Structure 1
């Protein structure tokens, strides 16, 4: 019996040490952007160098704010989650919500890399004057801004029901200099009434509660112009047991809709969308299922 207990204790301590290492690596990623000569920043860079990430950070595909958000969001969110007073997304601090938004700002770059090659006609549509996109659950507006910057003729409508996030989104849009092309509205996706108004629509299932998500997808299909594309962001449930368990855990913490690829494909197909498929994305990125009206 003693041997069994010792083995269990060793496994627990080993796992905890690995998890702690991950948290500190994320902290190093965030602090690696400190000014030259800062001792803590220099030490953080040695951590990134030890795992071969220095080149990926310097001059990579992510902006510095996006890297900061990618690193800080899980640290800040889990800190709130374990505080004992967590009830939902609105309990997060402004810093945690901003970090999540900054991380999502890289979505436009992912879209151009992983999706546009498969939809060449859409690339031309988004580059044309009058192109429109709707961003459901816009949060602090970073994703909306990312698309507006990537496509200079694109007009983006960002909707959300979270007043505090929308206030931060107004500042994000203003500072990015795209306020003339990004409109923010306090609106539930289930209340969307526009028809044939958008060329591109985005909805993130992990952040939208199930009743609103199901009704919202139906509204978004109606809101698409013929040939327009709907993108559903969702969890990935085809990984290891740990990956799948963590995806469910995070979705529950976010208060959103657990959705796997096959269910997402069935959902979009049932709404009459064409060419429905799940696009391969890198590890750590959400699953993306898309369909054309």
Structure 2
């Protein structure tokens, strides 16, 4: 058997384990219950991977890092187990869905950060939030936790995820402010209800995206904000390929944030801006 590629596989496997160690070390910052001998080894491994900058990371950096680690490990594991899955988001593994939900809540943290620089968006955080493609309700729960005046309509069409969403919401302190519904955004029939909407475009084909934007605009109040997310395509060719693959396997199409901005402006949104991180680019604007 040829072993010409085995050393490279060993290096890739080492990198995967180092990524897991870094994520584990960050997670244990707020957990004093773990065996100190095990924790010492985890932290030592994380420092071997990142160096002393590990200890200097602030809360915002740790939050972003955990999102990136969990997303990478969850995505990699699901891709390896189910390489034959087509262009859809019909994931059956409850653990994988919950992991994606934990990672997704950082989207609302970013929305809040953007709102800090946009007073009108801050006001939108006191109204009713439409969480499209809620999955297991990770974003909805984070919105309810951090915005005590906000009500949330969480919608999705994947019933296995919605079952977990209902359970997660019922077990939270926010069940009186979150409504979970099996509803296609293209069938949204509300009128002038929402002050803020989240639309993950990476799960939508273009015709569906166009209809979703129409429905959300009709369902939004004056001065309501829409935040549309798209996976960022890095300059690195391999990472760009992974971003494309992630979008296609999620059921969407490879989209340019500039196109999404144009679609929003065509529906009357103003002050449309973009905010990019290595994970996702947010396109956001306001209905006058």
Q: Normalising by structure 1, report the TM-score.
A: 0.83
Partner of 1:25: 18
Q: C-alpha separation between the residues in 1 aligned to 2:205 and 2:191?
A: 23
Q: C-alpha separation between the residues in 2 aligned to 1:193 and 1:81?
A: 36
Query: Which moved further from structure 2: 203-212 or 176-185?
Result: 203-212
- Pair 1:174-2:176 in alignment: no
Partner of 2:103: 103
2:159 to 157, 160, 163: 163
Superposed counterparts of 1:142-161, under 5 Å:
142-161=138-157
Superposed counterparts of 1:40-59, under 5 Å:
40-50=38-48, 51=50, 52-56=53-57
RMSD (Å) for aligned C-alpha atoms: 2.7
Aligned residues between the structures:
275
2:277 to 271, 276, 282: 282
Q: Secondary structure at the match of 1:176?
A: coil
Tell whether the 8 Å contact from 1:70 to 1:100 is kept in structure 2 after alignment. no
Q: C-alpha separation between the residues in 2 aligned to 1:19 and 1:55?
A: 27
Give unpaired runs (5+ residues) of structure 1: 1-8
Tell whether the 8 Å contact from 1:230 to 1:290 is kept in structure 2 after alignment. yes
Cα distance 1:19–1:288, how it changes in 2: closer, same or farther (>3 A)? farther
Q: Secondary structure at the match of 2:222?
A: strand
Superposed counterparts of 1:90-129, under 5 Å:
90-113=90-113, 115-127=114-126
- Pair 1:74-2:67 in alignment: no
Q: C-alpha separation between the residues in 1 aligned to 2:62 and 2:105?
A: 9
1:153 Cα deviation from its structure 2 partner = 0.4
Tell whether the 8 Å contact from 1:157 to 1:182 is kept in structure 2 after alignment. yes
1:223 Cα deviation from its structure 2 partner = 1.2
Cα distance 1:13–1:250, how it changes in 2: closer, same or farther (>3 A)? farther
Q: Secondary structure at the match of 1:255?
A: coil
Give unpaired runs (5+ residues) of structure 2: none
Q: C-alpha separation between the residues in 1 aligned to 2:194 and 2:260?
A: 21
Which whole-Å deviations, capped at 9, do the CAs of 1:112-163 have from their partners, x for residues lacking one? 22x1133212213423xxx101000000001011111111000010000011
Tell whether the 8 Å contact from 1:159 to 1:184 is kept in structure 2 after alignment. yes
Q: C-alpha separation between the residues in 2 aligned to 1:105 and 1:250?
A: 18
1:185 Cα deviation from its structure 2 partner = 0.5
1:82 Cα deviation from its structure 2 partner = 2.6
Partner of 2:252: 256
Cα distance 1:185–1:195, how it changes in 2: closer, same or farther (>3 A)? same
Q: C-alpha separation between the residues in 2 aligned to 1:45 and 1:89?
A: 35
* Structure with more contact order per residue of length (Cα contacts < 8 Å, sep ≥ 6): 2
Q: Normalising by structure 2, report the TM-score.
A: 0.85
Tell whether the 8 Å contact from 1:70 to 1:99 is kept in structure 2 after alignment. no
Q: C-alpha separation between the residues in 2 aligned to 1:214 and 1:263?
A: 11
Query: Which moved further from structure 2: 239-248 or 187-196?
Result: 239-248
Q: Secondary structure at the match of 1:47?
A: helix
1:290 Cα deviation from its structure 2 partner = 0.7
Partner of 1:215: 211
Q: Secondary structure at the match of 2:136?
A: coil
Tell whether the 8 Å contact from 1:133 to 1:201 is kept in structure 2 after alignment. yes
